[in-house]
Amino acid sequence: MEIIKKIDLRNRIIIINSVLISVVFAISYFITLPSVSEIKKMQSEIDAQKIDLEEKYMKGQSLKKLTESLKIIEPRLEQLDLVFINQNRELEFITALERIAADHKVSQRINLAPPQQLPGKQLKTSLLQLSVNGVYSDLFDYLSDLESLNYYINIASIDFVSGATPAPNSIDDGSAGGQVGMNVAAAIFWK
């Protein structure tokens, strides 16, 4: 302390200011700069976490929408299963075709090829050929009911032949101009 008293006032002020500037510089160099770099590092980590959380939120929203859509679609899946013919229940399909023919008083001959596996699919397909004879208007009613079956039938062609052999037990009232034959080629699908 005596050394400071011996220094004149002007030099004391210079020394005190120099010491203060050195302390401020040391504080800023050793404390503030590392803290700033640490803060910047934390900020970049916070930004990365924010982006990650936003992505997770968006995925969560997508998952929520997907779950809601699945709840809407799930009851329809059972209906979709019904459009394919179950290999253990092909008799139901044949019976449905025979019922339609009987309802419309037409005769039909069913030719069903064995199912063939579709490449890369779990489904099988087979060719269905129907030869139907009857009155013209009954044939169209038959086609309408064939179309309204629960099964998916992909009709490839329909050919009409005039002067077909009358169906047994059919009544020709002459209103449609006699008997007409119809050949239907279609694909059906099995599961």
Domain ranges of the chain: 2-80, 87-190
b/e burial code for range 107-127 (CB count within 10 A of at least 16 → b): bbeeebeebeeeeeeeebbbe
Residue 85: predicted pLDDT: 67
Amino acid letter, residue 98:
E
CA dist list (Å): 73 to 18, 67, 85, 116: 79, 10, 21, 29
- Chain centroid, CA 8 distance in Å: 90
Place of tokens 């169906």: 167
CB-CB contact of 152 with 188 (8 Å): yes
- The CA distance from 68 to 62, in Å, is 10
Which residues, 6+ apart, have CB-to-CB distance to 129 below 8 Å?
A: 110, 111, 112, 183, 184, 185, 186
CATH class of the structural domain 87-190: alpha beta
Alpha helices, H only, 9-112: 9-27, 33-83, 90-103
- The CA distance from 132 to 109, in Å, is 6
* pLDDT by residue, tens only, the chain of 191 residues: 566 667 787 888 888 899 999 988 888 788 887 888 888 999 999 999 999 999 988 988 888 888 888 888 877 766 655 566 667 777 888 888 999 999 999 999 999 888 887 777 777 888 989 999 999 889 999 999 988 888 778 889 999 888 655 544 444 444 445 789 999 999 888 77
